Amino acid sequence: MEVDPAELDAARTYIRSIKRFGRALKFLHIPKNAGSAIEEVAGGARPQYWGGCLFKHKPKRKSCVYPPGGWWPEHVAWWHIPSQFFPLENVDPYADADVFAVLREPLDRILSEFYYVCSLRHEDWRPYQCDEKRLFEPEYLNDWLQRKIQAQPQTPSAERYLMDFGHFTPQSEFIFGPNEVRMVDFVLFMDDSFDRSFDQLMAAFGLSDIKIKKFNALGAKERTVDTHLNVTHLDRQTLSVFNSRYAEDFALFNTTLEVR
């Protein structure tokens, strides 16, 4: 699939021309792309059922206000499945809505995945997956990422996206469905323009009271060269594996990955 970067880049300016909509706005939660921050600010006086909060599930999330209805099967990240695979369980939470999502620079996202996944300790249903004594070793980082990326199934299916809770699914597969059909109406970019673009989109849908909190593009815990590994620690083999799997994500940012 070839992605036209200009089409997605135009989303930055298109939302400024929106005046009014009759449909609800829904958020599609691409893993590690500001999803939890957006869900948290949507739980105010007029709660928006967004992202993971669209799915009434267990374990409950403190940041969510859940919609009415029955419970979805627990310990499944339903909100990390691209919208084209719904309805599931005879429900399509994205039906009759305009959908927005956030894109993140691919290398920054994958490094965030490493530190996020390696910090989880849900022993009962999501076993700890990393050697915590080696989280700052470049060799371990590269080996871990290569194994994770190469283990991902290539054939699209809802079950495939549940592997590793969708955290290694290319961002492009959330934006585009089969035959290059675009599944997301509005795309925001996790960069210096994010706060402004988010406010403009909320205003277009009459949700100006929803404000994103002070946003750190590096994530909840800032990574620094003194405390964390970074893109300079990715070796040639890791970059090659990453490029073969996520080339379309780089195209969304109108960039290419240079394999040293």
pTM over 0.85: no
Query: Which residues of the chain fall short of a pLDDT of 50?
Result: 217-220
Q: If we measure between CA atoms, which residue out of 129, 145, 149, 111 comes closest to residue 227?
A: 111
Interval 5-30: pLDDT, tens: 676 666 656 655 555 557 889 999 99
> What pLDDT, on a 0 to 100 scale, did the predictor assign at position 200?
92
- What are the tokens at 228? 């964390």
Whole-number Cα distances in Å, 37 to 30, 31, 244: 12, 12, 30
> What pLDDT, on a 0 to 100 scale, did the predictor assign at position 73?
80
The whole-angstrom separation of Cα 60 and Cα 84 is 25
Domain spans in the chain, listed from the N-terminal domain onward: 20-254
The whole-angstrom separation of Cα 34 and Cα 39 is 9
The whole-angstrom separation of Cα 126 and Cα 153 is 19
User: Hey, what amino acid is at 254?
Assistant: N
CB–CB of 223/230 below 8 Å? yes
Instruction: Note the CATH number of domain 20-254.
Output: 3.40.50
> What pLDDT, on a 0 to 100 scale, did the predictor assign at position 27?
92
The whole-angstrom separation of Cα 166 and Cα 97 is 23
Q: Return phi, psi of residue 212, to 5°.
A: -70, 140
